[in-house]
Structure 1
Amino acid sequence: MPLDELDKRLLNQLQDNCDLSNQDLAELVHVSAPTCLRRVRRLKQEGYIRKQVALLEPSKIQAGLTVIVELTLDQQGAEHVDEFERRMQSESAVQQCYHVATGPDFILILYVPTMQAYHELAHQLFSSHRNVRNVRSFFSVHQSKFDTRYPIP
């Protein structure tokens, strides 16, 4: 079902703060609480809302290093790409994995506690993997923007 204006208002509000009570959310989007609840449930059931999470402040929990990795595979056939993606999905340090066009085959975002942990992980995931041809790693020294919001047309 396509999104109508109410759905878009709900999604925009939830992207800003998914911790709102149903009553507060309903007031913000100018509908009744039962209508709001029904619409949010439908948006979840239809997969528009993947999940609701708490975003933690990395500096408060001493999250460690953010590493951006460019990676090229030696063989790019579908079975090789699928196998690589499965390996990345099973590794908790890999926060994001993008199969990209032009340039490297993959861009990864990793969170690791220390440089030593990165070296061990890189050996385990990249160096010892026969199909990994090239790896370039970049270490974040400052994050000037981080957002989880998707623009809704």
Structure 2
Amino acid sequence: MESIDIDETDLRLLDALQTNAALSNLALAAQVHVSPPTCLRRVKRLWEAGLIERQVAILNADRLAPVLGHGLSAVVEISLDRQGAEMLDAFEQRISVDEAVQQCYRVSPGPDFVLIVHVADMPAYQALAQRLFTSDANVRNVKAFFSVKRAKFEPKMAISSARRA
């Protein structure tokens, strides 16, 4: 992976975009204190360098609940029998394409993977467990923790505090 030179202006742009990616170029430039052409050029460079992966809308689950239902969120720990690189990669690839898996982390020590999953209800979780875990002979252990309340959800990276460290 190629390294890119990042300065304080780039970091301010990234921080502002994490908070509101819908800002117009003019508004973003004003917020970061650069000219609109400079802002546009730098943001394009940040995209091309892969520092900005994608733009998404973060939906309000509570406001959508009357339409979609609250659903069931779980943190799931997965341990595999064989942890060779090819086995870890194969499991990761298989679960990454399932839309119920919102996040996947390969971790150490402890389990091999920690997943954040969201499904409609317990029967949907059972179907997910059968599809992804039970049917995989390499899955040794599955431990699920079901969410009763989400206390915080923040996808924003702490750029300003990371620079000071």
Q: Do Structure 1 and Structure 2 share a fold, with TM-score over 0.5?
A: yes
Q: How far apart are 1:61 and its partner, in Å? A: 2.2
Matching of residue 57 in structure 1 with residue 60 in structure 2: yes
TM-score (norm 1): 0.97
Q: Which runs of 4+ in 1 moved over 6 A?
A: none
Structure 2 CA distance, aligned partners of 1:3 and 1:147? 23
SS in structure 2 of the partner of residue 97 of structure 1:
strand
**Unaligned stretches of 5+ residues in structure 2:** none
Alignment of 1:1-153 (within 5 A): 1-62=4-65, 63-152=70-159, 153=163
State the Cα deviation string for residues 78-109 of structure 1 (Å, max 9, x = none).
Answer: 11101101111111111111110101010000
Q: How far apart are 1:42 and its partner, in Å? A: 0.5
Structure 2 CA distance, aligned partners of 1:16 and 1:91? 28
User: Please, what is the CA RMSD of the aligned residues?
Assistant: 0.9
Structure 2 CA distance, aligned partners of 1:78 and 1:12? 35
Letter in 2 for 1:126: F
Letter in 1 for 2:143: R
Structure 2 CA distance, aligned partners of 1:117 and 1:61? 19
SS in structure 1 of the partner of residue 63 of structure 2:
coil
SS in structure 2 of the partner of residue 67 of structure 1:
strand
Q: How far apart are 1:60 and its partner, in Å? A: 2.2
Identity of aligned residues (%): 53
Q: How far apart are 1:59 and its partner, in Å? A: 1.7
Higher helix share goes to which structure? Answer: 2
Letter in 1 for 2:151: S
TM-score (norm 2): 0.90
Structure 1 CA distance, aligned partners of 2:33 and 2:104? 38
**Unaligned stretches of 5+ residues in structure 1:** none
